Every structure is written in C-alpha cells, then in structure tokens.
Amino acid sequence: MFPTKVKMLLQLRNTLWGCASLKAHCSRLVLGIETSCDDTGAAVMDETGKILGESLHSQKEVHLRTGGIIPTVAQQLHRENIERVVQEALERSHVAPSRLSAVATTVKPGLGLSLGIGLDFSRRFVRQHNKPFIPIHHMEAHALTVRMHLPVPFPFLVLLVSGGHSLLAVARGVDDFLLLGHSLDEAPGDTMDKVARRLSLIKHPQCSTLSGGQALELLAKDGDRSRFPFRTPMGQTYDCCFSFAGLRNQVNMAIMKKEAEEGIEQGTLLSCVKDIAAATQHTVACHLAKRTHRAIVFCKENGMLPSSNPILVLSGGVASNEYIRKTLSIITETTGLHLLCPPAKFCTDNGVMIAWNGVERLREGKGILPPNVDVCYEPKALLGVDMSAEVRAAAIRLPSVRIKIHN
C-alpha cells in the first residue's frame, strides 16, 4: 500500500532484528495456542518472529451448515482437534516441547466453552513439560500481529474488527492500550455473517464454503450499492463507539420487502443479493471509517500519536476485506496517517498471532507465569483503559469525506 515506507520499515527490521545482541536470544521459542472462537490454531515461533511450524483447524464449514456457531459444537470440535493441531505445529517446526521457552494461550475474551479447551490443554502441557505460561488477550494479539512483519513503533492507533469485536484503541505498549471506542451491540463480522445467513448465501454456488463476510465481499464486487441506501449508524452520536444491530435491522427489512415483491419465501436466493451485499458492505465500511476519522482527530487534538509518521493499524478477520481497507485508506490519506494491515491470512484467527504476542511479552518480561499458577478464562474482557467517555465528551464534529470506491 505504501511501498517505499514499507521497504524502509523492512530494512529497519532486518537491521534491528539481525543485530548480534538480539541474535543471542534467537534461540527462545514460543508455542502459541488459539481456541477462543471457531478456529483451533497452534504455532511455534522464534524470537525474531519466524514461524517454524503451524497448524490450523477451521470449524467454519460445520458452523455454516448449522446456521451459526453453537458453543457446545465448537467446544467438541476444539476438544477433538487440539491435541493433533499442537502436535502438528511442533512436528512441522522440528521442535521438541523441552526446547520451548514458553507457551502462550488465548484466555480472553471469547466463547467460554472454547477458551476452556485451549486453557485446560495448555495447563496440562506446561505442567507436564515444566514451561512458563503466558495468558493472552485475543484482541491484544490481533493488535500486535502487524509488528510480526514490520517494526511498527508505539504508539499507534488500531482499529480491530472481527466476528466478536470492533474497537478503536491507542496501542502505547505491548500491554498498554487506551480504548477509545467499542461496539455497543454486535460486531461487524457477526452482522455480515447474519446478513449472509438471512440471504441464504450458503445456497449460492460461489459462496457455499465462504464465511459471511467473505461471501458479501465477493458478491458485492458485481453489485450496485445505490439500490439500497442504508443509513450509516450513529450519525448523531459524536463518539468512537460502534453499533451494527440497527444496520442489520435495516437490511432485514429490505430483504423482507424484496421477498414480498418477488413473491418468494425466506430461504430462496433473491435476484438482488449482489446489490444488498454491496450496500451492506459499504455501510459497514462507512461506519468504521467515520468512527476511525473521529478517533484520529481526537488523538491529534490530545497529542496521543507521534507527529511524524503516525500509523493506523487495521486488523481482525473483517480487516481482510479489501473494500474496507480501501475505505480506511481514504481516511488515512485525508488525515495524514499511514495505514498498515497484516496480510489477510494473519487477520483471521490463527495460532501464529498468539505465538507472536507470546514473543512480544517474553521479550519484555511481561505476564510470564510459572507452570503451576492457576489461570481462569474470561469470556468478556475490555482491552486496556476505557476512555470512551472522554471521547464522547469531546463531541468532535467531522468534516465530510467523500467515500467513492469501485467495488
């Protein structure tokens, strides 16, 4: 996206991380384990961020068939796969458990039943092999993933958008975040999954194996968004929080109207699915863009980002969406920030991002626990210090920005 800047950052990374003093520590290896939602992931990584081996079991197709994630089904699938996935990651990396320096595992936030499987497995593993344990906050891991490839310095602004969350935060350090805004109801990925399900996109020949977000992105490419002018949420609320439930309601009403017009039952593909997909994706993108724009202005007014080369990081499963990336890039170009996104493969859940978060914490000696310490999982957990009330009090009005993108 910014070839020269990225090249410079890569050169800096190679210089910094290739230097002799750091090479002395390169032998430290971390096993990362992820089970917070519907992906069982594991990876072994060295301290430079090199992936030595990884394995990922996605439950996506099962949940697509059952029409959404049933927590007990997700739990059972994690239970059936965790041992094999971790074993595969270790074998592919040619690393014996005895050579690991630590095990990092997602313990919050997420589905309790899913988190429990990863945590129970990890607890047994670290005790058996007498290894330090690093509990990981799933959203912290999404926020730091970008630093695996580029030495993005703190502080930076981060927009995280996934199936379970949407939030804007200033990342000031590996475990130091200021939360500017978060979703008041559902997450954008959840909304897109539910819209895709309501449209029965699983029956669409091109979409049967895609997540809701992926399906909407694909269909939107040939859609006309102007046929469904949905309202961007929270136009009269001048903060950085998000809301997607109202948009889903607007979309559902439009679908019902079209079904009545076309005389078809719910569960049959509408002729205008591409237009609805394009309009939904566009409205999600505009909502994210407006809240992010306000967060940028708030950060600038309060000196929260560096004046030279300020960065916006976009990550989480929904950040693999190209249209959303392009929309956010209009905002960063307008405001003088640089947009950085991890490669799409690392935006969705995986064990690599957890291993990397473990490496970051290991380097700084933060949150490293002895093998016998008792840790509980937490289905709900904010990221950092909540500043959303201060942002709301600032009531920042934004200049209008024209968002025009070819699908």
Contact footprint for Zn ion (CB under 5 A): 162, 349
Residues 6+ apart with CB under 8 A from 311: 152, 156, 157, 305, 337, 338, 339, 340
The residue from 119, 289, 318, 339 that contacts ligand KG4 (CB under 6 A) is 318
Out of Zn ion, ligand KG4, none, what residue 47 binds, judged by CB under 5 to 8 A for its kind, is none
Regarding 106 and contact with ligand KG4 (CB under 6 A), the answer is no
Regarding 317 and contact with ligand KG4 (CB under 6 A), the answer is yes
Report, in Å, the least distance between residue 347 CB and ligand KG4.
7
The residue from 47, 193, 239, 360 that contacts ligand KG4 (CB under 6 A) is 193
Regarding 212 and contact with ligand KG4 (CB under 6 A), the answer is yes
Out of ligand KG4, Zn ion, none, what residue 59 binds, judged by CB under 5 to 8 A for its kind, is none
The residue from 116, 118, 189, 384 that contacts ligand KG4 (CB under 6 A) is 189
The residue from 109, 163, 181, 342 that contacts ligand KG4 (CB under 6 A) is 163
Report, in Å, the least distance between residue 43 CB and ligand KG4.
15
Q: Which of 56, 44, 40, 157 is nearest to 106 (CA)?
A: 40
Segment lying near ligand KG4 (by CB under 6 A), choices 175-183, 212-220, 285-293, 382-390: 212-220
Segment lying near ligand KG4 (by CB under 6 A), choices 6-14, 15-23, 314-322, 397-405: 314-322
Report, in Å, the least distance between residue 165 CB and Zn ion.
7
**DSSP per-residue letters across 175-236:** TEEEEEEEBSS--HHHHHHHHHHHTTGGGSTTTTTS-HHHHHHHHHTT--GGGS-PPPTTTT
Report, in Å, the least distance between residue 309 CB and ligand KG4.
27
Regarding 320 and contact with ligand KG4 (CB under 6 A), the answer is yes
Q: Which of 80, 78, 99, 81 is nearest to 90 (CA)?
A: 99
> In Å, what is the CA distance from 59 to each residue of 6, 120, 236?
34, 20, 39
CA dist 31 and 42 (Å) reads: 7
What's the full length of the chain, in residues? 407
Report, in Å, the least distance between residue 397 CB and ligand KG4.
29
Report, in Å, the least distance between residue 272 CB and ligand KG4.
20
Q: At which residue do the structure tokens 């009005």 appear?
A: 397
Report, in Å, the least distance between residue 352 CB and Zn ion.
12
Regarding 134 and contact with ligand KG4 (CB under 6 A), the answer is no
Q: Which of 304, 284, 272 is nearest to 199 (CA)?
A: 272
Report, in Å, the least distance between residue 372 CB and ligand KG4.
30
Nearer to Zn ion, 101 or 162 (CB): 162
Regarding 339 and contact with ligand KG4 (CB under 6 A), the answer is no
Q: Are 52 and 44 in contact (CB under 8 A)?
A: yes
H or E stretch covering 45: strand 39-46
**DSSP per-residue letters across 106-168:** EEESS-HHHHHHHHHHHHHHHHHHT--EEEEEHHHHHHHGGGGTS-PPSPEEEEEE-SS-EEE
Q: Which of 262, 269, 270 is nearest to 203 (CA)?
A: 269
CA dist 271 and 258 (Å) reads: 9
Positions in 270-289 near ligand KG4 (CB under 6 A) = none
Q: Can you say whether the dihedral through the CA atoms of 194, 196, 197, 199 is positive or negative?
A: positive
Out of Zn ion, ligand KG4, none, what residue 75 binds, judged by CB under 5 to 8 A for its kind, is none
Regarding 358 and contact with ligand KG4 (CB under 6 A), the answer is no
The pair of three-digit structure tokens given for residue 256, joined into one six-digit string: 């019902």
Q: Are 30 and 103 in contact (CB under 8 A)?
A: yes
Report, in Å, the least distance between residue 347 CB and Zn ion.
8
Helices 188-198, 212-220: axis angle to 10 degrees equals: 70
Nearer to Zn ion, 90 or 141 (CB): 141
The residue from 349, 361, 362, 388 that contacts ligand KG4 (CB under 6 A) is 349
The pair of three-digit structure tokens given for residue 238, joined into one six-digit string: 């001048």
The residue from 292, 348, 388, 407 that contacts ligand KG4 (CB under 6 A) is 348
| Residues at the contact surface with ligand KG4, assessed by CB under 6 A | 37, 162-164, 189-190, 192-193, 211-214, 217, 316-318, 320-321, 348-349
